[in-house]
Amino acid sequence: MLPSDTSLRGGAEGSLVARVFITGSSDGLGLMAGRLLAGQRHAAVLHARNSSRAEDARAALPEAAGVVTGDLSSLAGMRQVAEQADAVFGSGPFDAIIHNAGVGHRDQPHRVATEDGLARVFAVNVLAPYLLTALMKRPQRLVYLSSGLHRDADASLADPQWEQRPWDGFGAYSESKLLDVVLTFAVARRWPDVRCNGVEPGWVATKMGGASATDDLSLAPVTQAWLAVSDDPAAAGTGGYFFHQQPQPVHPAARDVTFQDELLAYCARLSGTDLPT
């Protein structure tokens, strides 16, 4: 069910206002999460891919504390977003960051290469949350969006850019969502002082999900907002994975420490940036 005033209210330090950055929030679930947070008097900072979409975001949520602009499909854009976001409040980190931005399989009928030569679905869905996590001032809470489809993905880093395999947009998306869960647990393990959790919002009728989606759209943004700011004891842990505020099983490979370290090392090589210890 939707959170009450008290279940979202209370920042990461128990204060009334939490500062929350949400990637990919000019529309869809990111914007919906921003509305939930702003409605509870939290300072929600949105993110848009370009200036036109940034204007759309400002018009859609005038209460937003700011809008950051940058294309998360490129390494340069990722760095731009990290720098802009860290500068929004002048000093100190966000209380929470929600890594919501993503590319769906419907957007990828064939392999699309970024300016860095990476598969776009990997760059946006996996490398961007990794690099933003590595570059930005460390918040008290991190939330990574995944999908229930991650449970059916192949757990391998043999060809994450789909350069050797025939392109399969659905498979590439599912793999990226598995790697998001792996990243979630890897960061939770490396940074025990940060509450770091993963979320699956369900199959909902957004642009990414499509009109035939069957899950409840009104519930889809609730869990990420709850994990970002709630004082509810169920939201206060780390290394969890949730659907509708309830813990969920994950692909067994997501808990494999060796696989976690392999993903961190791979992302560090691609980006030239290690996750700080």
With tokens 């099983």, the residue in question is 249
Active site residues: 173, 177
Architecture of the CATH domain 15-271: 3-Layer(aba) Sandwich (3.40)
Instruction: Say whether pLDDT at 11 is over 50.
Output: no
Interhelix angle for 128-135 vs 169-190, to 10°? 20
pLDDT band at 7 (very low <50, low <70, confident <90, very high): very low
Residue 109 main-chain phi, psi, to 5 deg: -65, -20
Query: 0.85 cut: is pTM over it?
Result: yes
- Mean pLDDT, range 215-227, rounded to an integer: 89
The predicted pLDDT at position 70 comes to 98
- In 3D, which of 36, 128, 28, 33 has the Cα closest to residue 85? 128
- Convert the pLDDT of each residue in 69-125 to its tens digit: 999 999 999 999 999 999 999 878 999 999 999 998 877 789 999 999 999 999 999
User: For residues 111 and 162, is the Cβ–Cβ distance under 8 A?
Assistant: yes
- In 3D, which of 6, 53, 11 has the Cα closest to residue 31? 53
- Parse the chain into domains and list their residue ranges: 15-271
CB-based contacts of 52, cutoff 8 Å, min separation 6? none
User: For residues 33 and 10, is the Cβ–Cβ distance under 8 A?
Assistant: no
